[in-house]
Chains A and B, each alone.
Chain A
Amino acid sequence: MAELASNFNRLADTLARNEQLRRQWIVDISHELRTPLAVIGGEVEALLDGIRKPSPERLTSLHSDIRSLSTLVDDLHQLSLADQASLQLTLTDVNLYDLVSNLRVLVEPRMADKPLTLVLEAASHPRLSMLADRERLIQLFSNLLENSLRYTNEGGVVRLRLQAHEQTLTLEVQDSAPGVPESDLTKIFERLYRVDRSRSRSVGGSGLGLAICQQIVEAHGGQISADSSPLGGLCIRIELPRTFRHQGLASKRLAAS
């Protein structure tokens, strides 16, 4: 009887905590939406009031503000899908080397513009293949490269290391300064977390990119972690199992909440 009561209390505590987290999440999202809306609303009012004259540049800037808001809403939608464990994966045989090489071609010109040097360390190897959702992996790796592109100082280096092991494939994205304080390394996968929220907002991140990365990795039965990079910045390490284990996702999700 006592055991039943204590189980019941534990359940009630968990429910209360989840409700608290859910409320905080809604407050955070509202805050996240309010600032870009204030900017867009203000800019449109300024045009209406004749404070500003309409010009192609003003409209382009407004358009890009609206696009970032759309991205934020898309990201939120994807996170909620994964929360319900309904993130559908379309599995095919994916060669990580080919996938990363293709992405590299896409992102390298923008890296060069900053300028940043992008280095890929991997041997082209048949063992770098795994069963995975190609589109999700592209999203995962692009998010990580975008992050490094945004948060690495000009003149820096971004290094991608791809390795094959017996049971797993690992990918590391290492970048040069600035880094993330040791105490914040575990927090960077939290939704809306930013090392310096003000600075980051102007740089353009939604604060959801790494949370989405974590969900994609976990949906594939893998693990993602953050550490200081030997290059002086951040190192994100991803470990993916070669053999796909979709089972366990739902139970892991429950245990995590």
Chain B
Amino acid sequence: MITDAKTILVVEDEQKLAQLLREYLQADGFHVHCLHQGDQVASWMATHQADLIILDLMLPGKDGMTLCREIRLHSEVPIIMATARVDEPDRLKGLEIGADDYLCKPYSMR
């Protein structure tokens, strides 16, 4: 076990995708924690530290856009938004609210 491994929080409601991301990122030596609902994020972040967050846009409980804005109120952690929506306005909105980058599904894990 690498002790200084970075932790990545994956918030993705499609459990199979979350599991794939976990396996790829773990193979690259990261610690990975997966959440499947938007409203689970705040309580997880209250007790854990993430070095990067991969955030799905459409989530049950609380959507990715709202979450991103809320996280930015108290944290500068890098955030990558992931979504199946490719509309340009969404893309811009995602970055304006403080996301660092943007991934469109289907993204390749490679």
Report the separation of the CA atoms of residues A236 and B108 in the bound assembly, to the nearest whole angstrom.
41
Instruction: Select one of A45, A65, A198 contacting B59, CB under 8 A.
Output: A198
Shortest distance in angstroms between A42's beta carbon and chain B's nearest beta carbon?
Answer: 4
**Interface: A197 (CB within 8 A):** yes
Instruction: Count residues on chain A whose CB falls below 8 Å from chain B CBs.
Output: 22
Q: Is the interface of A mostly helix, strand, loop or mixed?
A: helix
Do residues B14 and A201 form an inter-chain contact, with CB atoms below 8 A?
yes
Shortest distance in angstroms between B14's beta carbon and chain A's nearest beta carbon?
Answer: 6
Residues of B near A34 (CB, < 8 A) are 84, 105-106
Residue of A nearest to B110 (CB): A45
Report the separation of the CA atoms of residues A39 and B84 in the bound assembly, to the nearest whole angstrom.
12
Report the separation of the CA atoms of residues A32 and B14 in the bound assembly, to the nearest whole angstrom.
13
Do residues A46 and B60 form an inter-chain contact, with CB atoms below 8 A?
no
Which A residues contact B (CB, under 8 angstroms)? 27, 31, 34-35, 37-39, 41-43, 45-46, 49, 51-52, 65, 196-199, 201-202
- Which of B17-25, B40-48, B71-79, B92-100 contacts the other chain? B17-25
Residues of A near B1 (CB, < 8 A) are none
Do residues B14 and A35 form an inter-chain contact, with CB atoms below 8 A?
yes
Q: Is the interface of B mostly helix, strand, loop or mixed?
A: loop
**Interface: B58 (CB within 8 A):** yes
Residue of A nearest to B87 (CB): A27
Residue of A nearest to B20 (CB): A42
Residue of B nearest to A31 (CB): B84
Report the separation of the CA atoms of residues A34 and B58 in the bound assembly, to the nearest whole angstrom.
14
Residue of A nearest to B21 (CB): A42
A46-B23, A51-B27 known; A41-B15 Cβ under 8 A: no
12 new A-B contacts at CB < 8 Å, known A46-B109, A197-B60: A31-B84, A35-B106, A38-B14, A39-B16, A39-B20, A41-B106, A42-B16, A42-B20, A42-B106, A43-B16, A46-B24, A49-B110
Residue of B nearest to A49 (CB): B110
Report the separation of the CA atoms of residues A31 and B105 in the bound assembly, to the nearest whole angstrom.
9
Shortest distance in angstroms between A2's beta carbon and chain B's nearest beta carbon?
Answer: 39
Report the separation of the CA atoms of residues A198 and B23 in the bound assembly, to the nearest whole angstrom.
22
**Interface: B69 (CB within 8 A):** no
Residue of A nearest to B12 (CB): A198
Residues of A near B109 (CB, < 8 A) are 42, 45-46, 49, 51
Question: Could you jot down 30 A-B contacts, CB within 8 Å?
Answer: A31-B85, A34-B105, A34-B106, A35-B84, A35-B105, A35-B106, A38-B14, A38-B84, A38-B106, A39-B16, A39-B17, A41-B106, A41-B108, A42-B16, A42-B17, A42-B20, A42-B108, A43-B16, A45-B108, A45-B109, A46-B23, A49-B109, A51-B24, A51-B109, A65-B16, A197-B60, A198-B58, A198-B60, A201-B13, A201-B14
